[in-house]
Amino acid sequence: MTPMRSNASGGTDRQPQTPMTRRAIAGGAIAIAVGAVWRAASGLTGSEATAASMAPGGNSQPGTLTEASPVPAQVVIENFTFSPDVLTVSVGTEVTWENRDDIPHTVTSEDKTSFSSGFMDTGDRFTFQFTTPGTYPYFCSVHPMMTAKVVVEA
């Protein structure tokens, strides 16, 4: 459909069709949205989707000599679950939880004193270093049915 406009003599003239129509704009917006979804999905593949280790980031303090430190590990909070639900790590490992749900969650130790993240909004992260061997059950205080544990080995 070609847009019409009034001319000086009271008639109407056809306006030339502009190269950027609503359909083209909508198509471009859809392409951008599909690209964003694809990019986000590709970020969840491989080691991130399985909550595998993240690259070490220079955690030693200046002036101290340390042996090779354990590689940090990640737990993803998504679809009202902690993934993995059982994570086994070595003493000294830093575990990072990332909330990928659309609603707030917490990471709270079962004893409520070992560690607690407070409320985590979408995209927030919480990191805790486990320095003592043992089993550390935890839950979401907002959604107590969400449970998991970290097993720390010497």
pLDDT in tens, 34-91: 444 444 444 433 333 333 333 334 444 444 444 445 667 999 999 999 999 999 999 9
The verdict on pTM exceeding 0.75 is no
Residue 14 has a pLDDT of 54
Question: What's the CATH superfamily of 73-153?
Answer: Cupredoxins -  blue copper proteins (2.60.40.420)
- Cβ(138)–Cβ(113) below 8 Å: no
Residue 130 vs residues 31, 35, 135: alpha-carbon distances, Å: 44, 38, 10
User: Would you kindly state where each structural domain of the chain is located, as residue ranges?
Assistant: 20-48, 73-153
Residue 70 has a pLDDT of 60
CA dist., res. 61 & res. 49, Å (int): 31
Chain centre to alpha carbon of residue 99? 5
- Cβ(113)–Cβ(121) below 8 Å: no
Residue 133 has a pLDDT of 97
pLDDT at 141 over 80: yes
